[in-house]
Amino acid sequence: MADDPQTPDWVRDAVFYQIFPDRFARSVLVPKPGHLDEWGAPPTYHGYQGGDLLGVVEHLDYLSDLGINALYFTPVFQSASNHRYHTHDYEKVDPMLGGNPALRRLIDEAHERGIRIVLDGVFNHASRGFFPFHDILENGADSAYLDWFTVKEFPLHAYDPEKAPNYAAWWGLPALPKFNTNSPEVREFLWGIGRKWIEFGADGWRLDVPNEIEDDEFWREFRRRVRAINPEAYIVGEVWSDAVRWLGGDMWDAVMNYQFTRACLAFFAGDVLNMDDLKRTSLHPTGDPGAPAFRKAIERLIGLYHPNVSAVMLNLLDSHDMARFLTLASGDRSALELATLFQMTYPGAPSIYYGDEIGLAGGHDPANRAAFPWHRPDSWNTELLHCFQRMIALRRSRPALRRGSFQFLHAEDDVIGYARQLGDEVVLVAINAGRMPRRFDLETGNLLPDGAVLEQSWARHSVRVEGATVRGIELGPRSGLVLATPRSSS
């Protein structure tokens, strides 16, 4: 464990966009099988809608205009599932996504625009179609790959729904045989895959359920192999709870910050939370509502990790593994807007799940994986889209929001106020998550000199600091305010 964990510098400036490839965009340039669901049809567990990587290439301008400079893809490797977490071939991009040439073009064209690419690595388990496991199905105890998995008896109950699998499988699901990562051959294979796609040009890995590989040395060596190719490669794990064990600088850089998600749901959605969908995740219960509880949750979270780790945490409001934030907030758009304002002004890398910015709704899987409605622009919430664009632009225009210190200045009732500071630049943010207007003073301590002038973002107003206080801040119901020191003219 490192005393001073070194994390990729570029992630501090990143705004991520998570893409579920089968549902983002379909290109006519990628040949497809004939039996696809219609684009935009209600999503199902097993049906394909035919999105592909060239479809993403064709919409890179949209993503750039939104302000995105990093993409995280759920798995892209060959698989017999629309989500592709059932990996058949770790060395081949799924032909339905356009194959390896499509990923090559995507990485090249994204990099030309300054957009990084992070891939999803499913290294805890494979699938029944993965060749070494298929070899065991065919050859039984004579298979050359027997020690790649943990087999209890033969024949394998891989396709018999009446019998539990008699081999180690993720959550007991027969479709997902769990790797035996004690096997030297398996370890070398997985480390080699980690290295291969970084050599190909990917900028990092998101690791699927990596905490279920209970072997810290496995992850230390994974990091060494990946970082030997690209010292700035980003390694982010999927862990829904606290993750101190893995974030000491010798394994991963960060995790998907679901504890951030949990706190945001409690504060910004609060009294309108959709409990039916929330209970289907480990984020339930969210904890107490209100500003003091929110401050406590966020300060606890920041206190868990080294500042270099907090600076690159992947801060998300929702993902493919939970109902969309808008749905969890019972359709309350103000909850999403306020949570996004906090997300864009908080330390770490914000991550937007595709379609959230236009008001795409959806409950738990598969409803949260709908096709992006390129074919129905009339269904887009363009006011919400413009709100996302403004907040992302604010983050990217203010170094203090990406790299500065963070401290709460106020947390009472349903109102929070906090500061970000980097050198002489100070940004103050105040948010009223309540249903009533609020008027209050914001104590700034020694952050700003007496008489300092602060500009209000998205408005032509300014305020003056008087005696270490911004006096008489007025916030309407469900609203936010951003004040900042003037930009340097140099």
Identified catalytic residue from 22, 52, 94, 208: 208
- CA 377 from chain centre, in angstroms, equals 25
Please report the beta strands in 94-213, taking only residues with DSSP state E, as ranges in sequence order: 116-121, 204-207
Mean per-residue pLDDT pooled into runs of 10, the chain (490 residues): 88 98 98 96 97 98 98 98 98 98 98 98 98 97 97 95 95 97 98 98 98 97 98 98 97 98 97 94 93 98 97 98 98 98 98 98 97 97 98 98 98 98 97 97 95 92 93 96 84
Please report the beta strands in 138-285, taking only residues with DSSP state E, as ranges in sequence order: 204-207, 234-237, 254-255
Looking up tokens 């868990």 gives: 304
Q: Is residue 474 annotated as part of the catalytic site, yes or no? A: no
Which of 306, 319, 316 has the alpha carbon at shortest distance from 346? Answer: 316
Domains of the chain from N-terminus onward: 9-124+179-397 (3.20.20.80), 402-484 (2.60.40.1180)
Q: What are phi and psi of 300, to 5 degrees?
A: -60, -45
Question: Helix H segments across 14-156?
Answer: 21-24, 53-57, 60-66, 99-112, 131-139
3-state secondary structure (DSSP) of residue 198: helix
Residues in the chain: 490
Which structure tokens are listed for 353? 């799940």
Cβ-contact 219, 213 below 8 angstroms: yes
Identified catalytic residue from 22, 238, 318, 332: 238
- CA 208/CA 222 separation, integer angstroms: 14
At residue 3, the pLDDT reads 78
Which 8-state DSSP code applies to residue 37?
P
- CA 384/CA 388 separation, integer angstroms: 6
Return the bridge partners of 405, or none: 421
3-state secondary structure (DSSP) of residue 123: coil
**Counting beta carbons within 10 angstroms of the beta carbon of residue 121, is it exposed (0 to 12), middle (13 to 18) or buried (19 or more)?**
buried
Angle, vertex CA 289, rays to CA 285 and CA 291, nearest 5: 140
3-state secondary structure (DSSP) of residue 308: helix
Looking up tokens 């998550």 gives: 433
- CA 174/CA 165 separation, integer angstroms: 5
CB contact set of 202 (below 8 Å; sequence gap of 6+) = 107, 117, 118, 119, 233
Q: Is residue 383 annotated as part of the catalytic site, yes or no? A: no
Looking up tokens 């497809």 gives: 32
Cβ-contact 484, 457 below 8 angstroms: yes
> 10 Å Cβ neighbour count for 92?
13
Which structure tokens are listed for 178? 């769990």
Global pTM exceeds 0.85: yes
- CA 126/CA 331 separation, integer angstroms: 37
Cα dihedral 477, 291, 353, 174 in deg (nearest 10): -140
3-state secondary structure (DSSP) of residue 344: helix
> 10 Å Cβ neighbour count for 451?
9
At residue 155, the pLDDT reads 93
Cβ-contact 290, 413 below 8 angstroms: yes
User: Residue 399, preceding bond cis, omega within 30 degrees?
Assistant: no
